[in-house]
């Protein structure tokens, strides 16, 4: 691989070892490669030579997954239809699915996700039922009587987005669960300067750890520093600075800039020969474009020196307070096409068994309608996809959809039965977090009896 930067790998590593000043600078800029020098080792995978990646698809706005997976049994569908009223999907339009473990009712998927229905039937996709931010298990009466601790600021977009990304509903430190995992596993990537955690959606708390910080890139690849091309005035000034660093701040700033330029060149050169996966992804869809770039990054994992990676993708538009019957089908269609295209791309390069894709959203939506849409809820369903997934299954308990029933907190807000901690910890174990480290990364996990949901082989 050709590198056009004047900075050699040897020189970069020599600079990285000089001190700690650049660590502060790289964390502030979201680069984070120097975190590999301070990562707490994971005993289980120390020296591991395999590759694993997690890909989070965050459905911003609060996805109404009660209309993604729908009961088909006569009585259960009647309950669903009575609660959802004008929002209900027509029973005859549902795509039947047959979970490996019999459920209390028969279920079907939204008519707009035939690709996901096929993945479920083939066993590479599973549903995780009724997840949400929880500090400890609770039922309706315990919530109403305030007998157990509840997550703060429920039904707020900002707070619930953070709680989902932290997987620690009562936390205030702002470090995400993927960042905390990277604190332990970044060392498996050796001396590569690229952060283990990569966002295609800008800065997000999910990827920020104590020492690990994410690298942000776009659907076109890495984002170079403006004006730092050879021959530009800013680059000339910077080159002078390289020769005259006289204190720790100057040195830290210069090394951070060099680090960014090195990573840009590293990624750009590797992507030049990477497959583009044209034809596998729908065009004009943001989530699909993000996943396409992630597939290209996974294809060049060896050139990047990566053994463990976590990627973040955003999909917007799920805050369907109005016109839900018009907006939601299109959103589900786009999601199904994007996820299926991504899995096809991974299969084409033989990486489908080492990548787990998962969805999450800040909350579900109310069962009841406000007239033309739904409002902020609590529990919702998630999906996990990959050849390593023990698919064709619904993990957890599907909720009772009766308005004012045992699972309805009030106003059609479904109480979660699985915590984000349980969901995230299962993913974290698969990517390599040592069982002895799990409790430290997910301190509320010990409040729940089932600490591994079992959807990954």
**Which one, of 436, 433, 434, 427, lies nearest residue 457 by Cα?**
427
Residue with tokens 């929880």: 134
What is the pTM assigned to this prediction? 0.88
Question: Residue 150 domain-assigned?
Answer: yes
pLDDT at 244: 62
Residues of the domain holding 90: 9-447
Question: Residue 1 domain-assigned?
Answer: no
Any idea what DSSP says for residue 317? Answer: -
Question: Residue 454 domain-assigned?
Answer: no
pLDDT at 248: 72
Question: Residue 127 domain-assigned?
Answer: yes
Counting as low any pLDDT under 70, the low residues of the chain are 1-49, 172-173, 225-231, 235, 238, 240-246, 249-257
Tell me the residue ranges of DSSP E strands in 45-196. 52-59, 69-71, 95-97, 107-109, 125-132
pLDDT at 450: 97
Q: What are the structure tokens assigned to 124, written together?
A: 């590479």
Cα 355 to chain center, whole Å? 12
Tell me the residue ranges of DSSP E strands in 110-226. 125-132, 197-199, 215-216
CA count, 13 A, side-chain hemisphere, 151: 30
Question: Residue 443 domain-assigned?
Answer: yes
Question: Residue 4 domain-assigned?
Answer: no
**Which one, of 311, 307, 329, 312, lies nearest residue 320 by Cα?**
329
Question: Residue 142 domain-assigned?
Answer: yes
Widest CA span in the chain: 77
pLDDT at 4: 34
Question: Residue 3 domain-assigned?
Answer: no
Number of domains in the chain: 1
């Amino acid at each position: 691989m050709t590198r056009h930067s004047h900075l050699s790998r040897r020189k970069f590593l020599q600079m990285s070892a000089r001190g700690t000043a650049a660590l502060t600078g790289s964390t502030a800029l979201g680069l984070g490669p120097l975190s590999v020098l301070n990562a707490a080792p994971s005993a289980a995978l120390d020296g591991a030579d395999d590759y694993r990646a997690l890909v989070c698809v965050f459905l911003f706005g609060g996805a109404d997954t009660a209309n993604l997976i729908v009961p088909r049994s006569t009585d259960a569908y009647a309950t669903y239809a009575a609660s959802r009223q004008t929002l209900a999907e027509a029973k005859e339009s549902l795509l039947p699915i047959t979970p490996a473990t019999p459920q209390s009712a028969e279920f079907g998927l939204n008519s707009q996700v035939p690709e996901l229905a096929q993945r479920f039937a083939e066993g590479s996709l599973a549903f995780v039922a009724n997840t949400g931010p929880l500090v400890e298990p609770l039922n309706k009466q315990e919530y109403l009587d305030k007998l157990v601790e509840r997550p703060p600021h429920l039904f707020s977009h900002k707070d619930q987005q953070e709680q989902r990304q932290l997987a620690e509903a009562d936390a205030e430190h702002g470090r995400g669960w993927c960042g905390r995992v990277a604190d332990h596993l970044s060392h498996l990537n050796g001396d590569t300067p690229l952060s283990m955690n990569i966002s295609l959606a800008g800065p997000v708390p999910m990827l920020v750890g104590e020492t690990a910080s994410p690298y942000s890139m776009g659907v076109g690849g890495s984002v170079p520093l403006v004006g730092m091309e050879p021959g530009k005035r800013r680059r000339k000034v910077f080159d002078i600075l390289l020769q005259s660093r006289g204190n720790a701040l100057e040195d830290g700033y210069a090394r951070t800039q060099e680090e960014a330029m090195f990573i840009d060149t590293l990624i750009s050169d590797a992507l030049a020969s990477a497959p583009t996966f044209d034809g596998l992804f729908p065009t004009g869809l943001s989530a699909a474009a993000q996943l396409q770039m992630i597939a290209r990054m996974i294809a060049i994992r060896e050139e990047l020196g990566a053994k463990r990676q976590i990627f973040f993708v955003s999909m917007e538009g799920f805050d369907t307070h109005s016109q839900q019957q018009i907006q939601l089908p299109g959103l589900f269609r786009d999601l199904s096409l994007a996820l299926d295209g991504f899995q096809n791309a991974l299969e084409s390069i033989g990486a489908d068994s080492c990548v787990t894709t998962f969805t999450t959203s800040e909350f579900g939506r109310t069962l009841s309608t406000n007239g033309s849409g739904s409002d902020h809820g609590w529990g919702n369903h998630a999906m996990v996809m990959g050849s390593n997934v023990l698919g064709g299954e619904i993990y957890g308990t599907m909720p009772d959809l009766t308005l004012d029933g045992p699972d309805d907190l009030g106003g059609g807000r479904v109480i979660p039965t699985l915590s984000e901690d349980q969901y995230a910890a299962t993913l974290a174990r698969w990517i390599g977090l040592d069982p002895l480290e799990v409790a430290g990364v997910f301190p509320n996990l010990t409040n729940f009896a089932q600490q591994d949901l079992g959807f990954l082989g």
